[in-house]
Structure 1
Amino acid sequence: MEKPKAFVGLALVLLLVQSFGVANGREEDICRLFSNNTVIRDPDSCGQSITCINSVSHYSTCSGSTPFFDKDTGKCVKALTDDSTCSVSCEEADSQFVADPKSCYGYYYCSDKETALYGKCPTDTHFNATTQTCTRTFESACTASSFEYCSIVKNSVNFDNLQGCNKYHVCEKGVLKDKTCASTSYYQASTGTCVAKALVDCEAHPLPSNVCGTVKKPLENKFVTDGATCRGYFYCTKQADGTPDPNPSWNQCPPDYFFDSSSQTCKHPTLVACKWDRCDGRTSAFVASGTTGCRNYLICDDGITQAEKSCGNFFFDENQGACVPGVLSYAACK
């Protein structure tokens, strides 16, 4: 068994110094949900804040006479009277250690009836309030660390909703609200705004309405467009009860190929009419636009359309990547 470090005089002094560090050991950093420079309270501790920089958590620990982090003011404070999830009382714990209600490894040392000093147990140990020691994790029965987003994020801060690329969250008066971007855009966590779909590396495309058909006419063992990209598609499998597939799997065609619903195959982009970004997955800098007449072309950069240009009275030849006088007609731009 190991006594909490704050029990030692030198370590107790060290607790009065604010410390900074970069998150480690987390498989999925919570900052992947927030825009750059967003500050939240650590969901695992009432005495720590997190500053999100390039989707990575940077920790700051409150200490001394202000051991708690207030998510609304962004400051270390003496007490959090409006947050019962972080309520720590030293009233009957003078000169004792009390557990951090949001963390298995955290604790507070009550130097008197009003002052709680924050501390953490060493790696692979949890705090045990009964024995007043840090015990090995396999001996611990702690199940802390559950949290609600609005208890760590202040109001009016947008953050990602992983359930769909077009969705995001925001806390309004302490209540979590689900928001949805316009039909032409996806939510970009790094900027905290809705942007063009092509700018977001999406892994959770929202299911189009009746993507796998209806109860009366379900689509069985069939590929359908994802309704968001020219390359992406869903596969609707036949259900034993005859209902539409509620969770079709998503995939996409290889680079320089678009999905064609009619043939159920991946084809050359000029053979497929698609209203989404036609630069997606393209290796060429200039590709045929979907504009009727086949006289326009797109300038692509990193799979995203930068501009659309016209060949005037000429036609755009995608094979040559140039405007030519000969009449050309593609299925993509008829």
Structure 2
Amino acid sequence: MFKSPLAILLCFIFSSIYAEQSEPTVEEICKQVAPGTTILYPNICDKWVRCPSSFGAEDYEEGSCVFGLYFNKDTGRCESIEDVVCPYASAETSNRCATKEDGTFLEDPDNCSGYVFCNNGKEMQSTCPYGLIFNPEQSACVYSKDYNCVVKEVVANVNPICKAVPKGILLANTNDCTKYYKCDEEDQLDSLECTEGEAYNYSTLKCVPRNEVVCHPLAPELEPELDVCGSDNNTLVGYIADKESCSAYYICVQREDGKPDRQPIHLKCQTGYFFDSNTWSCRNRVNVKCYLDRCEGMGNKYVNVIDDCASYAHCKNGVTVNNGKCKTGFFFDERSQVCTQETITYAACMP
């Protein structure tokens, strides 16, 4: 049945909202935190989970707080419900009277003048007379000068993962070993990055030199740092020929600290062209003298050889397999693939 554009749009909006509000699973959270971290069980205020001792292990440990307590993810202990701000509790989902005796008075965390009366295990909202505030210590309405009321902070718009883990905890970025996350004091997930030359060590929760790092098992391997841009005593900047390919080159950028670029951009000339380090350009391969294997990119053809325009190399799958030489008085022409009496003066083969 055909749906109107409005109906389709509404379905998309509602499905997006649902996806944004869904909580991560225990397994998803434990994949990013350090092994052995204790977290609040998603969507349950009085339950906790200790993540496995190592990545891939299954030794989860679960526990529940005793009656009347919530798990405090920041202290790692079960504490009185009044002392714990549970990120999963809300006016719609949390009934504080469920654990209280009938006749108990509770403060309204959002309103100094309001209070809650417990009756048959249910909350009954009420408000003090005008000019008075509720004092939970006396279970009575008093003048504001007689009690210092502080409205509790409302937990809202927090990151789903940060709801379950302690504030300030670091989490691995499973897509990039040089980056990591941190749950801040507002339970927002901040994306951070190690300084250049370092990566995030999953086991120690620190940025360490790249050659010492233990990346998260799901993170891609780090690209090796290259030394093509020189050393600390001799930094190279600009376009540098690749020592393993006639057609490839690197772009070494100038760093503010003066150190050589360890992750230069690697590019390659189009087919039939070699990189010329003298002009910093891609030129027709016969016009560039390259001392590497000139069969690169030539499949099963023949190519001129360095310093002898009368000789040629036989290529197979882009690699030199043997050499040959034209008869006396003839030169090899890479372009026409034949020996010719016409003098060949390509830069590629001239002495």
Normalised-by-shorter TM-score class: 0.3 to 0.5
Which is greater in Rg? 2
Q: Which has the higher contact order (CA 8 A, sep 6+)?
A: 1
TM-score, scaled relative to structure 2: 0.36
TM score, norm. by length of structure 1: 0.37
